Chains A and B, each alone.
Chain A
Amino acid sequence: MWAQKKISGWGRYPVVEADCIRPERRSELLAAFEDRGDEPLLAYGLGRSYGDAALLDGGRVVMTRRLDRMLEFDPESGWLRCEAGVSLEQIIHTFLPKGFFPPVVPGTQFVTVGGAIGCNIHGKNHHVDGCFGDHVRSMEILTGKGDIVECSRDVEPELFWATIGGMGLTGLILSVEVQLYRVANPYIEMETVRCENLDEFFVVSEESADFSHTVTWIDCAKRGAGMGRGIMMRGGHAKAGTQHEDGAVMELADHVMRMIDGRPFESNLWLNSATISIFNEVYFRKTPPGTHRTVVGYEPFFFPLDAVNNWNYIYGDRGFLQYQMVVPDNEATREIIDQISASGMGSFLAVIKDFGELDHGGLSFPMKGTTLALDFPNLGTPLLDLMNRLDDVVMSCGGRVYLGKDARLSEANFKTMYPEWEKWKDIRDKWDPDGVFQSDLGRRLGLS
C-alpha cells in the first residue's frame, strides 16, 4: 500500500515528501509498478546516499529493502545471484563464515546491492579492484516501459553499462549476479602510517600501491606546515592462520558501541570549528609517528562509523552535506584543502585516497586521481558558496564530484564534470522514453 512519507538521504538534507511503498515480495513490486498512475518513480535502498539521489519530491518511491532474497550461490566460484534489496551486511553475515567477502565495500555495510550498483560504489581497494559494478555479471532490470530485461556485458550491453552508476534512472534493478571473493578469516592485517603533511601523504600513497586496501584520515582543519596531515591505514584481508590479538576486548567494545545511538545527541551545537579542531588534534596525537602493524577485525577497518547507530543525527536537524571530489592533479588537491581549512567549516570526518586507473565512464564517479571526502554541517549559503568555489578548482583540472554524496551541484557544473552525460542520457532515453524513472538529483542535473 502506498503511503505518504517524509524521506531524506543520510545527510538528512533535503527532506521531501513522496508516496512510498515497501513491497514485501517481487510480485508486490511489479503490481506497484502497474499501480503507480502517472507519477514518476524511483528506487530507494537503505538511503545511505547523502543528498537527493534516492529522493523524488511528490513522486512515487519504492523502498526495496525487503526485496532481499538470495537466489543462487556457487561455493566453487563465489557467484551470488540475489535480489537487489539484499544488503552488504547480510552478504557479509551469510558468507564470511563460509570464507567469502563482497568485492567492494563502502564505509558502511548498510547499503543494498541495488544502491551499490546505482552509485557504482568504490572502496578502499579501488586502485586494485575498481568499483562494485566491475564485479557484476548480469542484472535483471524493470524498465520504464514495464519490461523485465536481463542484461550483461554481452546482452543489452548499453543498458547494463548505463545502469552501473546510473543513479536509479535507467530502471529498477530486480536481481543481480555479483562475484564474492575468498578470504581466509574475518581479520585485516594493516599498517598505520602517520603523515605529517600533504606532501608526505602523496609520497606514502604512491609507496602503498601494492597494498590492496588504502585509506587516509586527513585533518582538514590544520593550516600552515602541518596542512593535510593525516593517518594512513593500508592493508588487506589477513592470511590463513593470522591471530587477532585483542579479539575479546574489541568484540566487547564493538558490542557496547552498537548499543549507542546518535539520535538522543541530535543538536546543531556539537559540531563547530572548536570541537572539530580538538577532535582532530586528539586523533592525530593518539597515533605515534612512523609505521605500525596491527591485526584488526573487518568491521573497525571497513565500517568504523557503523559502530554508532544513526550517527548522522549529531549534526542536528539542519542536516549535513558531504563534498567528495576526485582530481587528477596534486596541486588541485592542495588548493581544495587550503580553501576548506581557511573556511573553518569542515568537520572531523574527512578521508583522502588515490584511485586507480579503472574508469567506468557514464555517470560513475571514480577516475585516476586523488579523492577527498569531507562532511560539513549544513551552514546554508556560506557553505554552498564554498562548494561552488571548490567546483571551480575541480573543473579546472578535469575532476568531478560524487553524485552519491551530492545535494547541490549545478546542472552546468555537472555537465562539465561528466562529459559522457549525453551518451548516457541517449541510452537512458531509449530505454525510458517517457521518463518514468526520475529523481530530484536527476531533475536538478538535467537528466530526468
Chain B
Amino acid sequence: MKLSDLTHRAGEWLRGVGPMHDVVISSRVRYARNLAGMPFLSRCTGEQLRELETRLRDTVLDSRLADEMLYVDVAAAGKLDRELVVERHLISRQHADGRHPRGVAISGSETMAVMVNEEDHLRIQVLRSGLQLSEAFEDLSRIDQLLEERVSFAFHDRYGYLTACPTNVGTGLRVSVMLHLPALKLTGQIEKAFRAAKELHLAIRGLYGEGTEATGDFFQVSNQTTLGKSEPQILEEFSTEMVPNFIDYERKARHALLNRQARALEDRVYRAHAALRSARLISSEETMYMLSLVRLGASLGLIKDIDVHTLNELFLQTQPAHLQRLLNREMDGQERSAARSDFIRRRLSQN
C-alpha cells in the first residue's frame, strides 16, 4: 500500500453509505494515550522525541492492528503528502505542520489512523461513514487492547489516563460526528442549535475554521467531558441523546423549506448544480458551497442524477493537494481553479 493509492478513491469515512448519511457524514472516536514514565511531548528532549517516535512506530506496526498498514514518517514527508493526509482527515493540521519526529499509521481502509507524537504520544482514531459510533468504538477498544499488551500507558488511580491537556484526562475519549446542516443554516436556526449543544457540554467547530461563512455547512460536534463518566456512558449519551436531536432538527428544517419555500430552495439547488456544470474557474470555497447545496438537493430528491457517493468524493478530490496529485502536476491558485472546474465537469458528465 502506498500513499498515492489513496488519492484516487475516497476514504471509508467519506463513502456516504452509512446510517443517517443524509445528515451525518462520518463518525469518529479517539483515545489520547501517553507512555508511562515518559514526559509529555512539550518536556521531551530531542532524543526522547526520537525514541518515542521509533518505539511507538514499531509498537503500532508490530501490533498488527489491521491487515494492511502504511506508516508515514510525517517529519520526512514532502509538503504535498502532508497536505494530502490532512485533506483526508487522517492527521491534524498541527501534526502536519510540526517540526519534531512524528508520524501516522494508516490502515488500508483508512478507518484507522494512529498519530504518533501529536499533542499526546498517541492519538488513536477510528472513523466510520454515517452514524456508526458504537461500531467505531468497538474497533477503538480492540486497538487499545492490542497496544496495551505491548506498552504501558500513563494512568492514575484518581485521574485515569493522563494526557498533556487536562481537558482530555480520564478516559481520553473524544467522540464526534461530522454533520451536514445546510437547512439549519439557511433557515437561520443554526445558532440556536449550537447554543443548545453548548448547554449539553458539546463542542462545535465549523469544518473550515472559525468565522468562515460560505463554507458548505459542515460542522463537527464532539463531547467535552472525558472524566467522571465511563467510556460506554460517554458514547451512549452522545449517540442516543445528542446526535439524534441534531438529525431531527436538520431534517425538520429541510422539510419546512421544501413545504414552505420550495421555489426558493429549488432555485438555490439548481443554480448550484448549474454552476458546477458550467464554471470554467472555481475556487475550493465556492466548490464546497455549491456541493453542499447539491448534496442537500440530492437528499431531498430534487437532484436525481448525482449520488451522495459522487458528491462526497468530489468534496475530497477538489481539495488543492488532491487535485494536484490527481492531475499529477503542481499548480498555483489560478491554475487550480481552472483545473478544478474541468475536473468537476468531467466527473458530473459521467453520471
The finding on whether chains A and B are genuine partners in a shared complex, rather than unrelated, reads no
* Residue positions of B touching A, CB distance < 8 A: none
* Residue positions of A touching B, CB distance < 8 A: none
